[in-house]
Structures are given as structure tokens and as C-alpha cells.
Structure 1
Amino acid sequence: MTIKLLAIGKTDNKLLASLITDYQNRLGHYIKFEFEIIPDLKKVKHLSETQQKEKEGALILSKLAATDTLILLDEKGKQMHSIAFSEYLQKYMNSGIKQLVFVIGGPYGFSEAVYNKAQGMLSLSKMTFSHQMIRLFIVEQFYRAFTILKNEPYHHR
């Protein structure tokens, strides 16, 4: 199985980008992991929130294969602790799916078309974080989940 993370817009902060790369490299020991950036939309000042979500949604959907399982990182999603998240990933790995895709949306969230395509939604916290920080948090949680599954000492129970 491949885990793919899609995000709208590049990571501007070099320190965050460096930490994300560090966890990406660590993840490579456990699973095939891809991180793909969808470029920011241009000329958004003339677009409504709905129009921006629809345009971003079309870009997100264009990156998906018909067989992909889509999970949205969304404030309305299910929250779980790290051990439950590791079990969540294990369930998908056991199911035989080819690619599990997690998406971090744009500033206004997702279009209805993306919500309709999704097979699940996760929330990392009740708090609000920048989209750039969420990238680091989810990649670290992927790494933590695999160390839990392998019974390695990174996660202290």
C-alpha cells in the first residue's frame, strides 16, 4: 500500500519543510509514502469562497485514481489517539487497497464534490492550526503509527 498526502500550496516555512522531509525519510523504512503539493490557485481575489473550493476540489479530484481511498483532514472529522490511528492504518493495509490518500484542503475547506468522494474524515485536534503545520503533524503521526505497529520505542504508552 502507498500512503499519499495531498496539500494545497507549498510549504513556505523552511524549518517546517525540513521537519516534514525528516519524517518523510523516516516513513520510507515502513511504507511507500508520497507527498504531493497542488499549486495555489492564481487570482483568487475575484473568486468567492465557494468558487475557490470548487476549483481546488477539481484539482484534488484530478489527482485521484478510481481505486484510491480518500480521507479528508477536516475539522468535522473523527478524532482519535495515536494508538487508534495506528490501528486505523493497519485496517486499511489489511484490506488490500493500493493507495490511501489523505488531503489537506485550502483555506476554506473542501468542495461538496470532494466531500462526496471521501471515504472518511479525520480531525487532528479541536484547535485550529495553519495548513503548513498540519502537514508536519500528520506526517509525524504516520511515522508514530508505524513505530506503534512495529512495537518500537518512539511512542511511549
Structure 2
Amino acid sequence: MNIRIISVGKIKEKYLEAAINEYSKRLSAYCRLEIIAVKDEKIPEKSSEAQLNKALELEGKRILPYIREDDILITLEIRGKQMDSVSFAKKIENYGIQGKSQFTFVIGGSIGLSPDITSRSNWQLSFSEMTFPHQLFRVLLLEQIYRAFKIIRGETYHK
């Protein structure tokens, strides 16, 4: 199975980088993992709707080249479907049973994702109605993907 994570913005904190590296190492036993960071747009404090839309459009254009036609595209969206870890694992497993092996997860920046990206999504996923820093969210997503593989394989993992 191939997992690609595309996210907007760079990781700046060393402790988050260390956590990402740890989960990447753990996941190497289960899948081929690729993590891609695209540049985020600098947005003025009091942005107009037009400025926000332009920023989303530019970030979307940076993401699009990394999405392939046959990808299962999962966008992380606050209005997406929430599910528990077992349901998440089952959904990934079911796609695998259907012969789908390329999953691309997209994490937007501080203002979300471009409609050009969300309109292509096969699966809109939300971890919570709460807002998380997109840098920290990469760690949360990697942990849940790792947990999903443990569940799929029937392996024990701490709760």
C-alpha cells in the first residue's frame, strides 16, 4: 500500500519533526510513505474574502500536481465525516480489498483547502470539530494511519 500525505506549510518545531520521523519509521513496515509539504501563502491579519480565496487557489495549485487520477483522495476537513479508529481502519481495508492501494491525504493550511482540491476528494475526513495546528495534525494523522494498520493486521497497540 502507498500512502502520500500532502500538507501546506513547513514543520518548524523539532519535537514535531521527531514525532513525524518516528511514525514514518513505524509505518515503513506496513506501507510506502511519502510526505510532501507545499509552500503556504502569507495572509495579512485582516484579509478580505478575495485575498483568502486567492491564497486558497495558489495553495491548491501547488497541491494538484501531486494528486494522481487513480488516488483515493482523502481531504482532512472540519466538516468531513468523523469516525473512530476501527471504522477508519475498516474503510482503508475495504479500499484495499477493492484493489485500491494509493491513498493521498491532504491537510490544508490555516485557512483550509481550495475547492479545486475538495471537489476531487473521495473521502472528506474530520478528526474533530476542534481546530488543530496543521503542523501538529500531521503527527495525529500519521498516528491514526499507523493505528489503522495495526488494527487491520490484528496486532496489539496501546489504547
TM-score when normalising by structure 1: 0.92
Q: State the partner residue of 1:99.
A: 102
Q: SS of the residue aligned with 2:119?
A: helix
Q: Any runs of at least 4 consecutive aligned residues in structure 1 with deviations exceeding 2 A, and if so which?
A: 43-47
1:85-96 matched pairs, under 5 angstroms: 85-96=88-99
Paired residue type of 1:62: P
Q: Is the counterpart of residue 13 in structure 1 residue 13 in structure 2?
A: yes
Task: State the alpha-carbon separation in 2 of the partners of residues 100 and 57 from structure 1.
Answer: 18
Report if the CA contact (8 A) 1:144-1:155 is conserved: no
Identify which of 126, 130, 136 aligns with 2:129: 126
Task: State the alpha-carbon separation in 2 of the partners of residues 72 and 81 from structure 1.
Answer: 17
Q: Which runs of 5+ in 2 are unaligned?
A: none
Task: State the alpha-carbon separation in 2 of the partners of residues 149 and 66 from structure 1.
Answer: 26
Distance 1:61-1:37 versus aligned 2 partners, 3 A rule: same
The 10-residue stretch of structure 1 (15-24 or 112-121) with the greater mean CA deviation from structure 2: 112-121
Q: SS of the residue aligned with 1:148?
A: helix
Q: Which runs of 5+ in 1 are unaligned?
A: none
Q: Is the counterpart of residue 25 in structure 1 residue 25 in structure 2?
A: yes
TM-score when normalising by structure 2: 0.91
Task: State the alpha-carbon separation in 2 of the partners of residues 101 and 155 from structure 1.
Answer: 26
Q: SS of the residue aligned with 1:117?
A: coil
Q: CA-to-partner distance for each residue in 1:1-58, whole Å, 9 max, x for gaps?
A: 31111001111111011011100110110111111111233x5448700000011111
Paired residue type of 1:16: L
Task: State the alpha-carbon separation in 1 of the partners of residues 85 and 158 from structure 2.
Answer: 9
Deviation at 1:154, TM superposition (A): 0.6
1:32-47 matched pairs, under 5 angstroms: 32-41=32-41, 44-45=43-44
Q: State the partner residue of 2:83.
A: 80
Q: State the partner residue of 2:54.
A: 51
Provide the aligned length of Structure 1 versus Structure 2. 155
- Percent of aligned pairs with the same residue? 37
Report if the CA contact (8 A) 1:79-1:122 is conserved: yes
Q: CA-to-partner distance for each residue in 1:96-119, whole Å, 9 max, x for gaps?
A: 124110000111111221121111
1:135-154 matched pairs, under 5 angstroms: 135-154=138-157
